[in-house]
């Protein structure tokens, strides 16, 4: 392994000013772990954008390297599960949060965080999906496990123009559901239909300040990527025995509800934790994303940029001006 590595390093100086830029650091500074991976692709998620600013809710220590997703080749392994040259995926766990992440030429991680790249997916496709695609798959799988019927199967998807939401639309359609996209961006409606939405509604249709414990039962189920008052209103609008898979809090962490949706309609609220999803279940879902749930338009759903250009995308994402996926090519395939 080479003596130094190129990465996007976030640091805090003595004046507590946060800076982030491309730098070279000694390879010996990589964290401990039994598997070292040469990163070919990473991606830019909202959590990564926050990490690049040194956000205290994401970054625990400085210096720090963002990137909760990485795909590449094993270059060192002390684990019997992986050999040098294996193509692998790492998403979430502590990557890019408690430990240095994928915006780097190399990462070093625990073997129990590593998923073999399944046949049917390329390294690039795995990062176009990344944590966003895996989280969407977890949400769809939750609805299937809760036996939500596909007929009529009108499943609401909030935050539909975002990474998780856009993948959720496509995976729901592939699984036979009737996805209904919610967006605050009217200009995105046509693209949402292309991605799988059979209907697009404005965010204002979910607004309700009445404080009624139950609203009109409109949806068989929902995938919520927003949280806050939107999630509260969605739960109050779910049909009897429906399910809401909740995976985000961009709209707020508070949940103003009574117990009535749960005890009068039998609604299930299923929290989706993509960070610590068990490796066995994670591996199964990656297999599905490579086979039964394989999306044929992955290459058209993301732009590819070099590590040197991440700051522009981060700025757009933090302003709410970024849609769908951006992946970072860090090394050669």
CB 328 within 8 A of CB 44: yes
Confidence at residue 2, expressed as pLDDT on a 0 to 100 scale: 87
Residue whose C-alpha is closest to residue 247's, from 5, 70, 62, 45: 45
On whether both 256 and 156 belong to a single domain, the answer is yes
> Is the domain of 71 the same as that of 143?
no
CA distances from 62 to 19, 206, 312 (A): 11, 41, 22
139 shares its domain with 91: no
With a cut of 70, list the residues of the chain below it in pLDDT.
323-324
Domain identity same for 177 and 264? yes
Residue 128: closest CA among 259, 40, 208: 40
The per-residue pLDDT of the chain, averaged, comes to 95
| CATH number of the domain that residue 25 is part of | 3.90.180.10
**Which residues face 71 on adjacent strands?**
41, 89
**Predicted pLDDT of residue 151:** 83
User: What's the confidence (pLDDT) of residue 250?
Assistant: 85
Q: Are residues 91 and 221 in the same domain?
A: no
Give the pLDDT confidence score for residue 294 in this predicted structure: 97
Q: Which residues contact 217 (CB under 8 A, 6 or more apart)?
A: 237, 238, 239, 240, 265
93, 141, 241, 244 from 262: Cα distances, Å: 31, 21, 9, 11
Q: Are residues 87 and 206 located together in one domain of the fold?
A: no
**Do 201 and 153 share a structural domain?**
yes
> Is there a single domain that holds both residue 148 and residue 253?
yes
What whole-number distance in Å separates Cα of residue 232 and Cα of residue 224?
A: 10
Q: Print the domain residue range for 90.
A: 4-120+299-329
68 in any annotated domain: yes
Residues 259 and 175 in one domain: yes
Q: Which residues pair with 10 in a beta bridge?
A: 20, 64
Q: Is residue 284 part of a domain?
A: no
Tell me the sheet residues that pair with 156: 180, 222
Calpha distance 55→255 (Å, rounded):
24
Note whether 135 and 265 are same-domain residues: yes
Q: Does 221 fall in a domain?
A: yes
Q: For the chain, what is the domain count? A: 2
Q: What is the pLDDT of residue 322?
A: 77
Q: Domain check: are 138 and 263 in the same one?
A: yes
Phi–psi pair at 40, nearest 5 degrees: -100, -45
Pull the structure tokens for residue 213. Answer: 């414990």
């Amino acid at each position: 392994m080479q003596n130094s590595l190129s990465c996007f390093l976030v640091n805090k100086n003595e004046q507590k000013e946060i800076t982030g830029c491309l730098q070279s650091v000694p390879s010996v500074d990589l964290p401990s772990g039994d598997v070292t991976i040469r990163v070919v692709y990473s991606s830019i998620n909202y959590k990564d954008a926050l990490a690049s600013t040194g956000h205290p809710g994401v970054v625990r220590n400085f210096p720090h390297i963002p990137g909760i997703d990485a795909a590449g080749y094993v270059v060192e392994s002390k684990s019997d599960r992986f050999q040098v040259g294996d193509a692998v995926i790492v998403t979430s766990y502590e990557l890019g949060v408690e430990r240095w992440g994928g915006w780097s030429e190399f990462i070093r991680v625990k073997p129990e965080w590593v998923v073999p790249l399944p046949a049917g997916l390329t390294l690039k496709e795995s990062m176009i999906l990344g944590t966003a695609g895996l989280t969407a798959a977890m949400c769809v799988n939750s609805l299937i496990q809760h036996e939500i019927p596909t007929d009529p199967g009108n499943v609401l998807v909030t935050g539909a123009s975002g990474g998780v939401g856009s993948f959720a639309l496509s995976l729901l359609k592939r699984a036979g559901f009737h996805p209904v996209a919610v967006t605050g961006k009217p200009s995105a409606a046509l693209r949402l239909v292309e991605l799988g939405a059979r209907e697009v509604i404005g965010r204002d249709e979910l607004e309700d300040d009445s404080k009624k414990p139950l609203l009109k039962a409109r949806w068989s189920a929902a995938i919520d990527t927003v949280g806050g008052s939107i999630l509260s209103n969605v739960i109050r609008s779910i049909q009897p025995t429906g399910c809401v898979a909740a995976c985000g809090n961009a709209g707020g962490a508070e949940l103003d509800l009574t117990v009535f949706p749960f005890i009068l309609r039998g609604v299930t609220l299923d929290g989706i934790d993509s960070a610590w999803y068990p490796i066995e279940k994670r591996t199964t879902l990656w297999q599905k994303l490579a086979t039964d749930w394989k999306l044929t338009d992955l290459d058209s759903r993301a732009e590819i940029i070099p590590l040197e250009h991440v700051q522009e995308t981060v700025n757009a994402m933090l302003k709410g001006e970024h849609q769908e996926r951006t992946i970072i090519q860090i090394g050669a395939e």
